[in-house]
Structures are given as C-alpha cells and as structure tokens.
C-alpha cells in the first residue's frame, strides 16, 4: 500500500472531513420541513360555510403534496422535497385575537409561512402585523379590496380576486342577459365585506344600468339570524332584483325566511357568494337565482385535468363536491408551492427566506383548478382570475341544485387595472375592461 505524501494526506483528511460533514448534514436536510400555518374558521358562524371546507381542502392537497401525488408541475414531494408540516389555527374570536395568534404562529410555532383568513376585518388587521414582523403571509379568501389599495406590503399577498370582481361580474351578467332592472333592492351585512360589496355593485350598476334606482338598502348586523323585518321591508318595496352578499348561516336563514314569504317570486335574487349553501339548502334554495361563487368554482369551474384531479380527491375524501372556500385554499397552496420551489432553486436548494418567497410569488402566475391565477394588482401582490355567474335550478333527478346558463368572464373584464383603485375604476365606468 502506498503511503500518501503529506500534501495528499491533507487532501485526504479534508475529503474525509467534508464527507463526514455532508453525512452529518444529510439527516438534517432529510428532516427539514416547511412549517405552514393555516388559519381559518374552525368554530363559529363561518366554520361550516368556509373554514372547515377550506381546511379540509388544505388537508387533502397537502397530503397529496407530501406524497408527491399531485399532477405536474406540482408533483415534487412537499415543497421542493421538504415535507410540509401544517399548523392549523381557528380564526374565530375577532381581529384583536387574530393579531396575537399570528404573532404566536411566527414566534412560538416557528412557521415559515401563513396561509389564512376569511374575514375581511381579520385580513385588514393581520396584514400590517406580518409586514412589521417581516414574515410571509398569504391571504387566501377575504374580499375587501382595501388591503392592497390602501396599503403597500412586501411580505403579504392575496392569491384570489377581491370582491369587486364578484359584483362587477353580476352586473355584467344581468346586462348581457337583458335582465330588466329599473329598481333594485339590497341587503348586506354591516361590516367591511358587506359594505364593500354593496358599494361595488351600486357603482357597477350606475355604469351599466343608467337610471336604475336603489330602493331598499338594508344593512343587518353580522349573524342577525332573524330577518322578518328586513323581509317586510323588501316586500314593501317591489323591485326587479335583490342583490346580496350575505353568506353562510346568515344567507341560509335569510333564504329560508324570505323564501317562505314569497320574496324571491317578486324579485330575482342576485347573490355574489352563494354557491357554498347549495348543497345544504337543496330544494329550499330558490330556482332562477343568479349567483356567483367568488370565482369559477364548484359547479361553475372550468373543465381541466387539474380541476378533475382536485374535484376527485376532495369529493372522495369528504363525500361532497368542493365549493368556493376549498377552491380558494387550493389555489393559494398551489401558488405557494411553485413560489417556494422557485425560491429554493434560486437559493441552492435550501429553504427560502420570507424575502425570497415574496420575490418568487410577486407578479407570478400559475394554473389552478379554477383557471389561471395572476398576481397582477397591488404591485404584484393581489391576484386576479376569471370568474363565472349562472342561474340555479333544482334538479329533482339528481336531487341537487344545478347551475345553468353559466357565463364566464375573463379576469381583465371584471377586475380593475393595475394602475387604478377599484372605486375610481368603477366611478370612471370601468375603462380598459377587456370583455
């Protein structure tokens, strides 16, 4: 055996040491996980409609990611080989509590990113906190346009369109179907989401239906439950349509109470976010209602291999088809996965920092079951997407509510351009809309 020289001996020792270090580092790499905070309503009024279906969606999708069973380009295990370790948190309890819980997620739970929040008030409260802490946050559902129109963020994103799209699409649908609207009634919850929806629809109608008048303009409190007086007010003011952004238990209670008193026979309901109550209410839901799903979701989703995969895994896991909340969750997670893997590639395969994640997601686009998501507004932090509106009909053969006469709207037709705030765009008559 040849005895190595001192120089080659040093090289040999160096190689052995490097190999040893690499071997020591291997288990650490193999065990490295991406801790992901997921916040949604697990209790309270929004749990049944939004929180639990969304979290259920997250569970099946993260499971598919971790097993490398999602379709390409989402087929790498976890995020770029890192297993995803979800930390689920209840959004119930109000904005003050959520601010504290978000801090806990980042500081105590040591999550690498958070995807969450249904409530517009919660989103408005937590976004500045994540920004102040320089932590990565994706708002996956809330609707108020104000987040990126009144604020500027580096670490905060929203991977779904805001509520302006829902109401502009409804107004355009009415116009394209020549629905007569001389007078219209409105009922919205008295908080950020309801008030923004009300304003957006009114402004869109001012442009598309010049001269149409608002008659009843009702703002019951969130979670009112009893709508007898509101129903009387609506019955006392005959109108062509009744616009509402009610959702969840409030929408269900309103539909039951207003339906029993014949409101929907006298004014066509035009509902911006109603698809999620269809499976529960079934034949109690009015026929001929014009509804949106806050995107091309559920029964109005486009045909694609990705959508088939998603529909299949969700339906098999929970014995019900996915509606808007799980769709919004999955599109957030798909966008985050691609951003994380892009950031890792630029970072030598290592877990990305919040800054690297933000740089990767900013201005990006990706395919989701509901179509292409583009981070086109809010300096690349706010998504736009295509949407769809349709009419409901109870299908006695299938024993479910079907949605017919569906019209799809391209994202640029129903979302403001990057250089304008929603309100200014609507007041100006939606210039630059590509329909």
Partner 1 sequence: MNLALTIFFDGITYASWLFIVALGLTLVFGVLKILNIAHGSFYAVGAYAGASLVAWLVSMKVAPALSVVALVLAAAGVAALLAPLTERGLLRMFYARDEVLLVLVTYALFLILEDVTKLLWGVHPYYAADTYQAFGNVTLGPLTYVGYDLMLVFVAVACGALSWWVLNRTRHGKIVSAVIHNAEVAGSMGVNVSRVYTWAFVAGVFLAALGGALTAPMISVQPGLSVGVIVVSFAVVIIGGLGSIEGAALGALVVGLARAASVHLFPAAELFSIYVVMAIILVFRPEGVFQRVQARKI
Binding residues (CB under 8 A) for partner 1: these are 42-48, 51-52, 190, 216-221, 223-226, 228-230, 232-233, 235-236, 249, 252-253, 256-257, 260-262, 280-281, 284
> Can you spell out the DSSP letters for 364-426?
-EEEETTEEEEEEEGGGTEEE--EEEEEEEEETTTTEEEEEEEEEE-HHHHS--TTS-HHHHH
Nearer to partner 1, 261 or 350 (CB): 261
Question: C-beta of 217: minimal distance to partner 1 in Å?
Answer: 6
Nearer to partner 1, 75 or 232 (CB): 232
Question: C-beta of 222: minimal distance to partner 1 in Å?
Answer: 9
- With contact defined as beta carbons under 8 Å apart, do 403 and 395 qualify? no
Question: C-beta of 214: minimal distance to partner 1 in Å?
Answer: 11
Residues 6+ apart with CB under 8 A from 396: 283
Q: Give the CA distances from residue 406 to residues 241, 251, 288, 299, 374, in Å, rounded to whole numbers and listed in that order.
A: 18, 22, 12, 10, 23
Question: C-beta of 103: minimal distance to partner 1 in Å?
Answer: 23
Nearer to partner 1, 224 or 433 (CB): 224
Question: C-beta of 49: minimal distance to partner 1 in Å?
Answer: 8
Question: C-beta of 192: minimal distance to partner 1 in Å?
Answer: 15
Nearer to partner 1, 177 or 221 (CB): 221
- CA dist 53 and 59 (Å) reads 10
Nearer to partner 1, 44 or 151 (CB): 44
Nearer to partner 1, 235 or 406 (CB): 235
Per the listing, tokens 């893997």 go with 341
180: nearest Cα among 89, 300, 270: 270
Measured in degrees and rounded to the nearest 5, phi and psi for residue 59 equal -60, -45
CA angle (310 as vertex; 280, 284 as ends), nearest 5: 15
Nearer to partner 1, 81 or 93 (CB): 93
Question: C-beta of 237: minimal distance to partner 1 in Å?
Answer: 10
Residues 6+ apart with CB under 8 A from 289: 264, 268, 269, 270, 271, 274, 391, 392
């Amino acid at each position: 055996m040849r005895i190595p020289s001192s120089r080659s001996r040093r090289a040999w020792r160096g190689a052995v040491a490097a190999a040893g270090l690499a071997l020591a580092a291997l288990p650490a790499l193999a065990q490295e996980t991406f801790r992901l905070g997921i916040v949604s309503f697990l209790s309270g009024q929004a749990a049944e409609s939004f929180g639990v279906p969304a979290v259920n969606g997250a569970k099946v999708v993260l499971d598919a990611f971790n097993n490398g069973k999602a379709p390409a380009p989402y087929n790498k295990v976890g995020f770029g080989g890192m297993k995803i370790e979800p930390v689920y948190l209840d959004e119930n309890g109000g904005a003050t509590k959520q601010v504290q819980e978000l801090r806990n997620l980042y500081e105590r739970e040591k999550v690498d990113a958070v995807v969450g929040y249904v409530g517009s008030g919660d989103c408005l409260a937590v976004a500045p906190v994540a920004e102040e802490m320089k932590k990565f946050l994706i708002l996956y559902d809330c609707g108020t346009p104000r987040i990126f129109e009144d604020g500027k963020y580096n670490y905060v994103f929203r991977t779904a369109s805001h509520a302006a799209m829902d109401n502009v699409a409804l107004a355009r649908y009415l116009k394209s179907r020549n629905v007569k609207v001389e007078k219209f009634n409105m009922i919205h919850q008295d908080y950020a989401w309801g008030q923004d929806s009300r304003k957006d629809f009114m402004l869109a109608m001012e442009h598309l239906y010049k001269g149409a008048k608002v008659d009843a303009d009702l703002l019951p409190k969130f979670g009112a439950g009893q709508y007898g007086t509101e129903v009387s007010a609506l019955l006392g003011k005959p109108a062509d349509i009744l616009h509402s952004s009610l959702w969840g238990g409030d929408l269900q209670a309103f539909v039951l109470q207003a339906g029993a008193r014949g409101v929907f026979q006298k004014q066509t309901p035009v509902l911006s976010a109603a698809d999620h109550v269809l499976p529960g209410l079934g034949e109690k839901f009015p026929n001929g209602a014009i509804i949106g799903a806050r995107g091309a979701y559920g029964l109005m989703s486009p045909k694609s291999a990705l959508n088939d995969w998603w529909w299949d895994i969700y339906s098999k896991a929970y014995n019900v088809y996915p509606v808007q909340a799980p769709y919004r969750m999955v599109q957030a997670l798909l966008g985050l996965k691609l951003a994380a893997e892009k950031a890792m590639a630029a970072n030598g395969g290592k877990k990305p920092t919040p800054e690297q994640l933000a740089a990767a997601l900013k201005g990006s686009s990706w395919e989701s079951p509901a179509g292409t998501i583009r981070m086109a507004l809010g300096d690349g932090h706010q998504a736009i997407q295509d949407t769809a509106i349709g009419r409901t009909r109870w299908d006695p053969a299938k024993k479910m509510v079907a949605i017919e006469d569906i019209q799809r709207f391209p994202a640029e037709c129903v979302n403001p351009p990057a250089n304008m705030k929603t309100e200014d765009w609507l007041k100006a008559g939606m210039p630059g809309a590509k329909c």
